[in-house]
Amino acid sequence: MTGPKLNEANRVAGSKSGTRASAKYVRSSASKVRVVLNLVRERNVRSADEILQFTDREAARTIRKVLASAVANAVNNDGLDADDLFIKACFADEGPTLKRFRPRAKGRAGKILKRTCHITIILDRMSDEALAVREAKTMAKGAPTSNRRARVAASRQTETPVQDASAEVETNETLSTEEEGN
């Protein structure tokens, strides 16, 4: 298994390993889900969501729902900012296997195993150093902070209304025709 499971930290009183969300009894094998989880482990929430959105596996849809649930838990229950979160740990444990049988030749039966798994994602706030690096990158791009309201207000101030520019052209044309007529 790659990555920490972080089960030990919850046993100590007063300590918390992060905000978690899980989906139980998912009808997919744990090995198929682990392939997708390896893509998003240790990434920030925004980039992980983009990766899951464009990953072409069925497990990515379920993992994306669990990630959204974990972000909602962090925002609503722990009061954290969604932009400051990263995936601290994610893992898929095997769930119960549904056993079915299919008739085979000579009166025998073939066993069909329908596997399930439990998906768990643990989020935590990025360290102050990581947040400072991310802030420096956004400032280097020339973009204001991640506050959308500030970005929209800045873009509205730099825009020139198209109607005013066309009105200026019309007044200049009428003045030039009046001067020619004189």
* Per-residue pLDDT reduced to its tens digit, 140-161: 776 545 577 777 788 888 765 5
- Each residue's pLDDT tens digit, 70-127: 999 999 998 999 988 999 999 999 999 999 999 999 999 999 999 999 999 999 988 8
87 phi, psi to nearest 5 deg: -85, 110
How far, CA to CA in Å, does 135 sit from each of 40, 63, 106, 127?
A: 21, 28, 69, 12
Tell me the pLDDT band of 14, cut-offs 50, 70 and 90.
low
Q: Which of 4, 30, 54 is closest to 115 using CA atoms? A: 30
Contact 117/94 with Cβ under 8 angstroms?
yes
Domains observed in the chain: 8-147 (3.90.470.10)
Length of the chain measured in residues: 182
Which stretches within 114-147 are classed as H helix? 128-140
Residue given tokens 């898929």 in the structure block: 92
Please give the structure tokens belonging to residue 67.
Answer: 């990630």
Spatial contact of 36 and 57, defined as CB atoms under 8 Å apart: yes
